[in-house]
Chain A
């Protein structure tokens, strides 16, 4: 990774300008040319250091309901259950974690009823108990990832 890419990673995790020529403005702030910055962002994506460039939406404010849920899945059934859970389009993320609660997934639905309904369907389909961990309060959410020089 070169200096330009590091500068972009450390300065562009938010605050992308909203104006007719945002990359030009950004480039002036960082001391590069517009063309260089555009190419740098493209390279970060093609090299996989950046998964996406654009707005990060606050899912809950888009309307609808979201929750984190977890299950304790017997190891011998793990892959089959993962497939069953992932088959729900409402399941957005699903992680295997090292704990007796070994499957953790995020469910997005249109409203609270739909959300309950999806969790219930997952229980029916898998025959396993689903623990619901809705967010009660968010303390901070800021990506502060630093890329060292």
Chain B
């Protein structure tokens, strides 16, 4: 996977803002102004920078990040599909648009042991629900799906969302 040529440039101010907000925004009446205070930036600059990062897709969205498990969506099944190469993009768009699928990606096969080239994360309140959703996908795809499997998560072994560490001595990202 290559870094795209049109990668939007991030300067020191953007990087400082990313570091200051990657664990969250202050939950106060004036969150952007509060972030600026800590960094010596005016509220206007903070808002403009964040708006730009949102516009170019560096920020996907701003809001609450729900905890699926706590909300009752305990069954998280990674469904994987073997789809003919010529059809995979069309099928991917279809599956990605389903409201019980949170992520949908095309990834390489590792033949012979791994024939699956489409990954779709399916969320449900129980395994039965996840299986019903997967059956729905299978019906939708018909012959386009040669094979599929559901990989349930048993345990989270590690989970950190951090990209750049506080202090910023993260070897080469700065």
Q: Do A139 and B157 touch (CB < 8 A)?
A: no
**B 17-44 binary contact with A (CB < 8 Å = 1; else 0):** 0100111110111111100000000010
Interface string of A111-149 (1 = CB under 8 A from B): 110100000000000000001111111111111111100
Residues on the A chain within 8 Å of B58, using CB? 57-58, 61-62
With contacts A50-B66, A54-B25 taken as known, whether A20 is within 8 angstroms of B156 at the C-beta atoms is no
What CA separation (Å) do A110 and B173 show in the bound complex?
A: 6
Whether A141 touches B67, Cβ cut-off 8 Å, given contacts A18-B32, A110-B172, is no
Report Cα–Cα, A39/B56, bound state, in Å: 31
Give CA–CA (A41, B65) in the complex, Å.
Answer: 11
Question: Given the complex of chains A and B, what is the CA–CA distance between A16 and B164 in angstroms?
Answer: 23
Complex interface: chain A residues within 8 A of B53 (CB): 55
Interface on B for A, CB 8 Å cutoff? 1-3, 7-8, 10, 18, 21-25, 27-33, 43, 47, 50-51, 53-54, 56-68, 70-71, 73, 78, 89, 92-93, 95-97, 99-108, 110, 114, 119, 123, 149, 151-164, 170-173
User: What chain A residues lie within 8 Å of B56 (beta carbons)?
Assistant: 61
Using Cβ atoms and an 8 Å threshold, which residues of chain A touch B102?
A: 141-145
Decide: B24 and A86 in contact? CB cutoff 8 A.
no
The residue on A at minimum CB distance from B56 is A61
Nearest CB in chain A: distance from B121 CB, A: 10
With a CB–CB cut-off of 8 A, which chain B residues contact A57? 18, 22, 58-60, 163
Chain A min CB distance to B153 (Å) = 5
Considering only CB atoms, which chain A residue lies closest to B153 in the complex?
A: A95
A76, CB-defined interface residue at 8 Å: no
In contact, B60 and A68 (Cβ under 8 angstroms): no
A44 proximity list for chain B (CB < 8 A): 64
